[in-house]
Amino acid sequence: MLSYRIPSERVKAWLAKAKQAIVGDDDGSKDGAGPGPSRRRYLIAALALLGWFLLFTWLSGPTVVQLGYSGFKTAVEQDLIARVTFKGDAISGRFVEDRPDDAEEAGVIEAFRPGVRFESTMPRVDDPQLLPLLERRGVEIFAESPDTGAWGRMLMSLVPWILILGAFLYISWRMQQRMMGGGGGGGAQGGILGFGKSKAKRFREQDTQTTLDDVAGLPNAKADLAEIIDHLSDPRRFRSVGATMPKGVLLVGPPGTGKTMLARAVAGEAGVPFYSISGSEFVEMFVGVGASRVRDLFDAAKKEAPCVIFIDEIDAVGRTRGAGVGGGHDEREQTLNQILSEMDGFTPQQDIIVLAATNRPDVLDQALLRPGRFDRKVHLELPGRDARREILAVHAKKIVLGDDVDLDLLAARTVGFSGADLQNLVNEAALLAGRERRDAVDMSLFDAARDKLVLGAERDRGIGDEERRMVAYHECGHALLAWLLPNADALDKVTVIPRGRALGATEQLPEEERRTFTESYLKDRIGVMLGGRIAEQLVFGEVTNGAQADLSHATELARRMVCRWGMSEAIGPVALKRGDEHVFLGREMAQSPDYSDATAKLIDDEVKRLISGIEDRARELMQGHRDALETIVDALLEAETLGREDVEELLRGQGEAADSDRRAAASR
């Protein structure tokens, strides 16, 4: 095969035609008419010119003649070869500058080009006559090693490492995109160099628009933090009298009480930068990364003092050291040590406040809680009735309220709701309004949203009539005892509509919030829990598994009365614990009890005696009002849901008897 050159004049003519076809004439128009070419046409023209240039470079390269081996030997015999180079099986060389007059082979004469390079290939069978032939004809002979040479060997040895480095850089870039997005406290976070950088989100003064007015229902907590805000706003006022502010403030409270929002409000009120990070973002698989991120965060904060650092869920990194696997050398404990060191390094003039939030203060390391680190603890509790009213008013501004909405009544019906629960309640009611295509959110939607959150969503279980009748008696047993027992919480609603995992529900609503519980109240509460099982025994002569949850709660409450609160004459005024109790969730850790086996048996007997005595009194009370039970059951089976007013209307005729029974039960 013979490659050849394309005359440069022909290439220039092709390029001129391509330019005129794509770009147009010199006057800026195509074919002399219309507007000039667009930016896209210029780009196409540039790409076309580049393509023609590459094609021209390839076609106009040096000419190489391909010769077969037999043709190569014939050319040597006719003195057409000036020099030859052997490189493995490859043969290359150059023709002589002038053709000899006696060259007669037609094939060689056609392939011969004076001074042009040629290439050929050695056959697999050795030819011992080739070298003598070349020497006789006076051909210059050269030989090259088929190896790639020193540079080639070096390049081949570096290729695997280049690939590994490229893969490592790509993985680090992906980790940067996934793990280090959202800005950081300490500068650029690029790839490998940014792995140890802080992942804290930084908010400028103009970005922290949250104020204390946006945080409703926490008057005590806001009062405790007012001094911190004053110091951040005007630190010289405190320095002038020699006062130093706390380095750290620990926000302690159940989930959803507004700890994060309160921290942002502190920065918003003071008008200072705000760094926010979760405790779990410090801890990584690689040892030392968490400590590096802590250093980077505090270095960035020191440059912008005064500022606020907020560490959410600090228990993820601040647990008691030495309590887990790894001793003092694991990543989490090194990160905690770095936090302690950084907080010790503060000077009074740096004006950096570290706010931290947790709902598990019992697991924090004591070194975090000592003076000089987290000096103050601000306790956030579940909002009371007035606080719930304020929180509902804040969230209700975002939706269209109906004329019949009573926020005071709604606040009274949401005992035990946190701020996050109330926000979810308002949003759920708004979702129901949109689903039903209503123009405003009325009180019925709030009631439906509350029932959905407390009792669960309505379910169509397809239960039979007999099972539905048993569920009705069970729930009406709860409702009747809630109405009869003098110290029990008032009945709010009873229903046989399946919700969540329950086939029915009875709901009580305390008239006032309780923080202390009397013995009589707790006994009546257990009595209401046993009401469903008692009704099943009276009507059907046997019990069902529907009382499983009631018995579990009643037993746990009775055990607390006996072991924790000294409400048993047999045990006396002592506190007997089975293990450390979780501060907010009320769970007990798996630890051995701190009392003897004899005391354990006495506790079991006392718990059983307490529950049995309450059950006997509740059964006697229900037997005396069997007609009232039947009345409520009939109405419930027909209406499926009864409110407090409905039950009072049904039992109004038995008011005198119920009052006497209440007085008798109270005297017991």
pLDDT-derived band of residue 29, with 50, 70 and 90 as boundaries? very low
Question: What is the reported pLDDT for 181?
Answer: 44
Say if residue 79 is exposed, middle or buried (CB neighbours under 10 Å; 0-12, 13-18, 19+).
middle
Question: What is the reported pLDDT for 109?
Answer: 54
Q: Which of 111-115, 152-156, 212-216, 621-625 has the highest mean pLDDT?
A: 621-625
pLDDT (tens digit per residue) in 190-233: 444 454 565 656 666 556 677 777 787 788 888 888 878 887 77
Question: What is the reported pLDDT for 528?
Answer: 93
576 and 559 Cβ atoms separated by less than 8 Å: no
pLDDT (tens digit per residue) in 168-183: 777 767 665 555 444 4
Question: What is the reported pLDDT for 286?
Answer: 58
pLDDT (tens digit per residue) in 567-588: 988 888 888 876 554 444 444 4
* CB atoms closer than 10 angstroms to residue 130: 18
pLDDT (tens digit per residue) in 259-291: 888 888 887 887 888 888 888 777 765 566 778
Handedness of CA 610, 614, 615, 616 (dihedral sign): positive
The mean predicted confidence, pLDDT, of the chain is 77
pLDDT at 362 over 90: no
Distance of CA 395 to the CA centre of its chain: 24
Read off the pLDDT of each residue in 456-472 and give the average, rounded to a whole number.
82
Place of tokens 């169509």: 460
Question: What is the reported pLDDT for 524?
Answer: 94
pLDDT-derived band of residue 34, with 50, 70 and 90 as boundaries? very low
pLDDT (tens digit per residue) in 293-330: 888 888 888 888 788 888 888 888 888 876 554 444 46
Q: What's the token pair of residue 103? A: 């060259």
Q: Are strands 90-95 and 81-87 parallel, antiparallel or unpaired?
A: antiparallel
Cite the active site residues: 475
* CB atoms closer than 10 angstroms to residue 58: 9
CATH number of 385-455: 1.10.8.60
Which of 35-44, 551-560, 583-592, 642-651 has the weakest average pLDDT? Answer: 583-592
pLDDT (tens digit per residue) in 600-649: 899 999 999 999 999 999 999 999 999 999 999 999 999 888 888 888 88
Q: Which of 662, 654, 664, 656 is nearest to 630 (CA)?
A: 654
Question: What is the reported pLDDT for 608?
Answer: 94
Question: What is the reported pLDDT for 504?
Answer: 86
pLDDT at 22 over 70: no
pLDDT-derived band of residue 80, with 50, 70 and 90 as boundaries? confident
Question: What is the reported pLDDT for 561?
Answer: 92
Say if residue 401 is exposed, middle or buried (CB neighbours under 10 Å; 0-12, 13-18, 19+).
middle
Question: What is the reported pLDDT for 192?
Answer: 47
pLDDT (tens digit per residue) in 533-545: 999 999 998 998 8
pLDDT at 105 over 70: no
Look at 28 and 481; give whichever has higher pLDDT: 481
Q: What's the token pair of residue 472? A: 């009705």
Assigned architecture for domain 191-378:
3-Layer(aba) Sandwich (3.40)
DSSP string, 98-154: S--TT---HHHHHH--TT-EEEEE--SS--TTHHHHHHHTT-EEEE--SS-HHHHHH
pTM recorded for the entire structure: 0.62
Q: Which of 24-33, 34-43, 390-399 has the highest mean pLDDT?
A: 390-399
Give the three-state DSSP class for 186.
coil
Read off the pLDDT of each residue in 426-430 and give the average, rounded to a whole number.
92
Could you tell me what percent of the chain has a pLDDT over 90?
Answer: 14
**For the chain, domain boundaries:** 8-59, 64-143, 191-378, 385-455, 465-667
> Across the beta sheet with 505-509, what order do the strands follow?
505-509, 490-495, 641-643
The CA-based diameter of the chain, rounded to the nearest angstrom, is 145
CATH number of 465-667: 1.20.58.760
Q: Which of 333, 337, 273 is nearest to 305 (CA)?
A: 273
Which of 245-254, 472-481, 585-594 has the weakest average pLDDT? Answer: 585-594
Question: What is the reported pLDDT for 617?
Answer: 93
Q: Which of 499, 485, 518 is nearest to 451 (CA)?
A: 499
Q: Which of 635, 626, 634, 633 is nearest to 654 (CA)?
A: 626
Q: Which of 239-248, 430-439, 590-599 has the highest mean pLDDT?
A: 430-439
647 and 491 Cβ atoms separated by less than 8 Å: yes
What's 64-143's CATH class? alpha beta
580 and 587 Cβ atoms separated by less than 8 Å: no
How far apart are alpha carbons 543 and 535 in whole angstroms?
9
Handedness of CA 36, 41, 45, 48 (dihedral sign): negative
Look at 414 and 38; give whichever has higher pLDDT: 414
Place of tokens 């039960």: 665
pLDDT-derived band of residue 150, with 50, 70 and 90 as boundaries? low
pLDDT-derived band of residue 409, with 50, 70 and 90 as boundaries? confident
307 and 273 Cβ atoms separated by less than 8 Å: yes
Number of H helices, E strands in the chain: 24, 14
